[in-house]
Structure formats: C-alpha cells, structure tokens
Amino acid sequence: MLTRFEQDIFPVIGRRPVTALDAADFLEPLQRMVKRGAVETARKVGAKCGEVMSFAVVTRRATRNPIPDLKGVLPTVKTKHYASLVYPADVGDLLRAIEAYRGKSRVTTAALRLLPMIFVRGVCTSASIQPTACAVIFTECGKRCCACSR
C-alpha cells in the first residue's frame, strides 16, 4: 500500500498540510488509477486514504475527513463469473484434460494433478452450525464426497 501512496497519492498531495486537503485532492489520483484499469486498487487506496484522514481527525491534525465525500464517484468492480462444472459427467472430461496437460512448469502440472483431490466448495452448511469451506472429493465411482460431512 505504501508503494501505491508513493506512486499515486503523494505526488499530487505533495507537502501540503493535512488540514488543507479536500476531496478533490484525492479524486484526481484515484481517477488516474481507474483510467489505467486499476479500479479495485483505486478503491482500496481510497479506503486507506480514508483511514489515514480519520486518524488525522482523531489526533486533531485535521478537522474533517474528506474521503466520504467521494462515495459513489469511483466505479464498482464488475464481477466476472467463471465457468463451472454443473454436471457430474463433465468431471471425467476435466480429469482427462488435466492428465493430458503438458506444461513447461512441473509445479503447475503437479498442482493441476493435485487439484481434483482437494476441490474446494464455496460454503458447506450440511454438518455444522457455522458455515465453513469444505473440500469436495470425487471418488473413482463418480460419487461426490463432502470432506466435512459427518
């Protein structure tokens, strides 16, 4: 985060006192970050600027935090949904493709071969009161076993 501040925020703010900063001073570097495609990074840096300004207010170095004024100005990150296996019969095709993969990296190949043994499922509530991540294992006979089920 310090690198982001050094590259994007500090050059705009300069050595001005915290009391002289307003929302427009933060908007310019954040919009530049968005223009270069770093939307999520801009949102995180903006949030961190808000924390810094809140600290300045609490320690009486500033009278107000201008960051909340930027709410809704930065675009939201578009969620991308990835392909998933919906039908158990498709698992066989995936396993054959993993076995046939011949990449340059032995680490990648080993990781791909390990992956089917430890598929992680989003959230499992079947066996516990507290939702937890659980591993889903596909057995040789094609049955799906939830590792956290009791």
CATH code for the domain in which residue 65 is found:
1.10.150.130
Residues 62 and 101 both lie in one domain: no
What is the per-residue pLDDT for 92?
84
Per-residue confidence in pLDDT tens, the chain, 150 aa: 889 899 999 999 988 999 999 999 999 999 999 999 999 999 999 999 999 999 999 999 999 999 999 999 999 887 888 777 778 788 888 888 888 988 888 898 888 888 888 876 554 544 444 444 555 555 555 555 555 544
Residue-range definition of the domain harbouring residue 120: 89-146
Residues 65 and 97 both lie in one domain: no
Residue 23 lies in a domain: yes
* Structural domain ending residue among the three candidates 70, 105, 120: 70
Determine how many CB atoms are found less than 10 A away from the CB of residue 54: 15
Quick check: 12 and 49 in contact, CB under 8 A?
no
Q: How far is residue 125's CA from residue 106's CA, in Å, rounded to a whole number?
A: 36
Residues 109 and 55 both lie in one domain: no
Residues 63 and 93 both lie in one domain: no
Please name which of 77, 26, 74, 14 lies closest in space to residue 50, comparing C-alpha atoms.
26
* Structural domain ending residue among the three candidates 39, 70, 101: 70
Total domains in the chain come to 2
Residues 66 and 100 both lie in one domain: no
Please name which of 129, 106, 132 lies closest in space to residue 121, comparing C-alpha atoms.
132
Residue 56 lies in a domain: yes
What is the per-residue pLDDT for 150?
41
Which tokens in the block code for residue 27?
């908007």
Residues 6 and 66 both lie in one domain: yes
Residue 77 lies in a domain: no
Residues 65 and 125 both lie in one domain: no
pTM: 0.55
Which tokens in the block code for residue 53?
């300004």
Residue 80 lies in a domain: no
Please name which of 104, 106, 22, 109 lies closest in space to residue 65, comparing C-alpha atoms.
22
What is the per-residue pLDDT for 88?
77
What is the per-residue pLDDT for 148?
52
What is the per-residue pLDDT for 129?
46
What is the per-residue pLDDT for 42?
93
